Structure 1
Amino acid sequence: MSSQIEENTPKKKKWEMPDTYVILFLVLLIAVIATYFVPAGSFDREMVDGVERVVPGTYSEVSGNPTGLMDIFLALQFGMVESGGLIFLVLFAGGAFEVIERSGAIKGGILRAVNKTKGKEFYLIAFVSLLFALGGAVGAVANSVIPFVAIGVIIARALKLDAIVAVAITFGATFAGFNVGFLNPYTVGIAQSIAGVPLFSGMLLRVIAFVIIVGATIWYTWIYAKKILNDPSKSLIGVLDEGSSQNEDLKAPFTKRHKIILSFVGLMLSFFIFATIQYEWTVDHMAAFFIIIGLVSGVIAGMNYNKVAITFLEGCQKLVYGALIIGVARAILIVMEDASILDSFVQALSVPLENLSPVFATLGMFVANGIMNFLIPSGSGQAMIAMPILSPLSDMIGINRQIAVQAYQFGDGFTNSIFPTSGPLMASLAVAGVSWIKWAKWMFPLLLIWTVIAVSMLVFAVFIGWGPV
């Protein structure tokens, strides 16, 4: 009888973290409510070197335009339309990288490196980490790192290490590169286009930051791995057992075609950097360029025309979720712009910051973006919300917009590696069988190291007046 009562008793549903789209829609509703209460206002603007900038001290109140019910859904539509160029950049990049991944070139290259460096644990960890860090820096690997964590597990097992090292050399290294994103179309590319600074400008300082951050990550990972190699009991979760299929797992073809594909992609991305400087190519050019990269890579891989098309579209499909976030985030700004309250928020933020030095104001931007990433764990979505506010705010406090872009990039990038709201993090930990608590214990000291590096770079950038060069 008691068991029957238990069966009929409804079970309490566990609370779930709202989806990113749900959070953004709630933010949209808050913006709509704000149009009825926040005083409307506007700054004067002026054109400086072809970029529209806010004129400090010119804020004045204007007549408001509260948002109606139909306006909410029109804003979503207009947000998608106005963000079309950025949305298709994300989709086409996903298509191109899917073709490259399906060719087997990436997996083959990694496992070839594993076989070549047997017995040289440090060089293997450094090489694999650097490969994934470069993938994160150019946007080739970010959310798509999840299946590669399984390769990390194979490598860690072969080296008699633990699953934390497996996550560190794949996911961790990817987001170490993503932190800087010197050629990442989803974050730096979008943020710079919104801020009105030349696409992928400021490359030199970002590459230097990349070298330092990735170097620190490899060093930190190796220190932990070396402790386990010397004493397996030092592992936080226990070393991986050697499976009988280990040697089979480490076998993968790395053909001449694979080498040609990777060389071609490297040359194309290098040429794009040149073209953005020499010919002032834009986000639209980059989106078109990814179509070329995807098609040519498919041809080199020996795929027939149907296979190339289907694979490219499947890659696009994988990034629809992330791409459309850009349009939803843009809808929030459309509501605020139409009601003339966006400048009111900029003015409200500038009041506490204008009494700070440019250095502390910049660090405030960095911290604010890190906190924002807990609620909006999407680099492109956060760029769409943050940069329209940070760009005029940087004008107000007297720093270059390039610095504001990097403050956003660091704030967004770092916390992806520890916030449990990060989907790629939680999925990567699940693949490797690592609990979030154990990962956070391992990751937190490295996060502090990254933060010290970021703060140092941002302070240096302010002192040298880092601009869009």
Structure 2
Amino acid sequence: MEQKKWNMPHTFIIIFFVVVLAGMLTYMVPMGIFETEEVTYESGGQEQTRTVLIPETFEYVTNDQGEPVRDGVSLFEPFGGVGFLNYAFEGMVSGDKWGSAVGVVAFILIIGGAFGIIMRTKAIDQGILSIIDKTKGREALLIPVMFFFFSLGGAVFGMGEEAIAFAIILIPLVIALGYDAITGVMITYVATQIGFATSWMNPFGVAIAQGVSDVPVLSGAPFRIAMWAVFTAVGIVYTMWYANKVRKDPSASYSMKANEFFKKHNQTQDFNKKFTLGDTLVVLTLALGIVWIIWGVVQDAYFIPEIATQFFTIGLVAGIIGVIFKLNDMRVNDIAESFSEGAQQLLPAALVVGMAKGIVIILGGDAADEASVLNTILFHAGGLIDHLPEVISASFILVFQSVINFFVVSGSGQAALTMPLIAPLSDIAGVSRQIAVLGFQLGDGLTNIIVPTSAALMGTLGAARVEWGTWFRFIFKFQLLMFGLALAFVILAVLINFS
């Protein structure tokens, strides 16, 4: 009798059961609350302000009898309340346009729509064919070069969500070169997160963590630059090993369905069609648009609202060029239709973002000054490092931040929530605050590669047409490798008294 092959549950199913677990915790773990304060620090020559918790102010929420409150979540709540069955909608509409769920959902849909227009012109397809023709015999250089630059982008300006757009462009290219969709995700999104996790100057991660921990901002750069170089080199080697294995034996790929989709798409192209002036203008629009985005992020700290509008503008201009030059027989209505189709392709990824946010909402939210189960978990987990040996305490900080990142994926949000608690506790444990920041950035950044609550990851996987379950089966071993390397650097930092 033939055994049935076990299939990884759909991402929606996984999140549902995590919500069930979160709901159960609300009946077992009492709610806690912190007081907060404003702290200021210098970053990039400017004074920055963050709201952070005050560790010693933690207290349980109590009832009239003075007993800790375990406010178990109800099955359903009307009038905008939070019940178990409300998690999908409440998660989807939580936050604001600057991040959290609703802003990221809109960001993903607009990027999908904009690239729907760009891809409808077929200019990118023609560009891919031109690149393949001009790089024959040198295709392998694409992987290390792209991985290096995306990792550098993650390290310098916190590149993350932007990888979604690049994945849409590069994945069809790497598949046409004989690799697979997984390779495309590795050289774009994974590379950015390795850079993000090992950065010496990322304004959204290490700079904030150092600022709120009262550590000189951007200090310890030589150690971190060396760490970035090692992690990036390991990532490149691993990606090239996997990519070459797939190229030699396509059946070794983890993303067979996605590969077939893109191959089928490529087969429908007219390989004899010339690269026209209109194609050139679309590609130039995209290139100049990317330069505009990078300039905005580095120069004026552009974030989700600005970047989404920039991509919308790029898509709109590309559509107008497509109509004027009749690229792929485009008409005015095709701009609207392709925008809708492009957004639709990334809709599952956008839905995951909202549903994942529902996990935190069920636990009471991630605000330190509002009663929640998450605050209680945070307080007691942080207290575990009090009387442990230095190496174990530093290692625990890495593990702790990795776990918390499942619930609070935002690097800046996690820094403001956890570092005011971890920094003073690291003093008690005899671990320098610089090492505490190191544990934070490695735990925060590297787990973005695997957690389904990461909006940027799910958006990139959506662009690659790879299910999270499929991704998990592939990335699990690499994640263990990254964690082992991170642990080695944390231990090294303790041994050399990194401060």
Query: Which bracket does the TM-score occupy, shorter chain normalised?
Result: 0.5 to 0.7
Number of the residue aligned with 2:15: 24
Name the CA shift for 1:108/1:33 in 2 (closer, same or farther; >3 Å): same
Number of the residue aligned with 2:372: 340
Q: CA deviation at 1:389?
A: 6.1
Number of the residue aligned with 1:162: none
Whether 1:81 and 2:106 are equivalent positions in the alignment is: no
Distance 1:429 1:406 in 2: 28
1:287 partner amino acid = A
Number of the residue aligned with 1:185: none
- Conserved in 2, the CA contact under 8 Å of 1:135 and 1:174? no
Distance 1:341 1:120 in 2: 54
Deviates more, 1:87-96 or 1:103-112: 103-112
Number of the residue aligned with 2:444: 408
Whether 1:44 and 2:44 are equivalent positions in the alignment is: no
Name the CA shift for 1:30/1:287 in 2 (closer, same or farther; >3 Å): same
Q: CA deviation at 1:46?
A: 0.9
1:179 partner amino acid = Q
Name the CA shift for 1:179/1:132 in 2 (closer, same or farther; >3 Å): closer
The CA deviation string for residues 88-122 of structure 1, in whole angstroms up to 9 with x for no partner, is: 11211222233233333433333322211223454
Q: CA deviation at 1:60?
A: 1.0
Matches within 5 A, 1:142-221: 152=174, 154-156=176-178, 165-166=179-180, 169-180=183-194, 216-219=234-237
Number of the residue aligned with 1:316: 343
Kindly report the root-mean-square deviation, in angstroms, between the aligned alpha carbons of the 2 structures. Answer: 5.4
Name the CA shift for 1:40/1:208 in 2 (closer, same or farther; >3 Å): same
Distance 2:438 2:342 in 1: 31
Name the CA shift for 1:171/1:87 in 2 (closer, same or farther; >3 Å): closer
Distance 2:119 2:21 in 1: 41
Q: CA deviation at 1:39?
A: 1.7
Aligned residue-pair number? 409
1:66 partner amino acid = G
Richer in helix (by share):
1
- Conserved in 2, the CA contact under 8 Å of 1:43 and 1:54? yes
1:68 partner amino acid = S
Distance 2:160 2:462 in 1: 22
- Conserved in 1, the CA contact under 8 Å of 2:31 and 2:373? yes
Number of the residue aligned with 2:59: 60
Identity of aligned pairs, percent?
26
Number of the residue aligned with 1:363: 398
The CA deviation string for residues 392-424 of structure 1, in whole angstroms up to 9 with x for no partner, is: 2222112688974653231231689xxxx9998
Deviates more, 1:358-367 or 1:71-80: 358-367
- Conserved in 2, the CA contact under 8 Å of 1:139 and 1:178? no
Name the SS of the counterpart of 2:51 in structure 1.
strand
Number of the residue aligned with 1:327: 354
Structure 1 unmatched runs, 5+: 1-5, 157-164, 183-187, 238-244, 373-380
1:84 partner amino acid = V
Distance 1:340 1:449 in 2: 34
Deviates more, 1:144-153 or 1:339-348: 144-153
Deviates more, 1:422-431 or 1:286-295: 422-431
Distance 2:86 2:399 in 1: 34
Distance 2:480 2:140 in 1: 23
Name the CA shift for 1:209/1:23 in 2 (closer, same or farther; >3 Å): same
Distance 1:453 1:66 in 2: 40
Name the CA shift for 1:295/1:40 in 2 (closer, same or farther; >3 Å): same
Distance 1:340 1:33 in 2: 14
1:343 partner amino acid = N
Relative to the length of structure 1, the TM-score reads 0.65
Name the CA shift for 1:314/1:461 in 2 (closer, same or farther; >3 Å): farther
Distance 1:217 1:275 in 2: 28
Q: CA deviation at 1:75?
A: 4.6
Name the CA shift for 1:297/1:76 in 2 (closer, same or farther; >3 Å): same
Matches within 5 A, 1:60-459: 60-63=59-62, 64=69, 65-71=71-77, 72=83, 73-82=85-94, 83-120=101-138, 122-123=140-141, 126=144, 139=161, 152=174, 154-156=176-178, 165-166=179-180, 169-180=183-194, 216-219=234-237, 253-276=274-297, 278-302=299-323, 303-337=330-364, 340-355=372-387, 359-365=394-400, 367-368=402-403, 383=409, 391-398=416-423, 404=440, 407-413=443-449, 450=482
Distance 2:111 2:209 in 1: 21
Name the CA shift for 1:296/1:423 in 2 (closer, same or farther; >3 Å): closer
Name the CA shift for 1:97/1:322 in 2 (closer, same or farther; >3 Å): same
2:24 partner amino acid = I
Name the CA shift for 1:329/1:16 in 2 (closer, same or farther; >3 Å): same
Distance 2:211 2:337 in 1: 36
2:52 partner amino acid = R
- Conserved in 1, the CA contact under 8 Å of 2:193 and 2:445? yes
Number of the residue aligned with 2:327: none
Distance 2:487 2:397 in 1: 9
- Conserved in 2, the CA contact under 8 Å of 1:178 and 1:413? no
The CA deviation string for residues 271-311 of structure 1, in whole angstroms up to 9 with x for no partner, is: 33443455444422333333222212222333543222221
- Conserved in 1, the CA contact under 8 Å of 2:171 and 2:181? yes
Name the SS of the counterpart of 1:43 in structure 2.
strand
Distance 1:251 1:369 in 2: 52
Name the SS of the counterpart of 1:55 in structure 2.
strand
Name the CA shift for 1:336/1:290 in 2 (closer, same or farther; >3 Å): same
Name the CA shift for 1:267/1:404 in 2 (closer, same or farther; >3 Å): farther
Structure 2 unmatched runs, 5+: 41-48, 63-68, 78-82, 95-100, 197-201, 254-265, 324-329, 365-369, 424-432
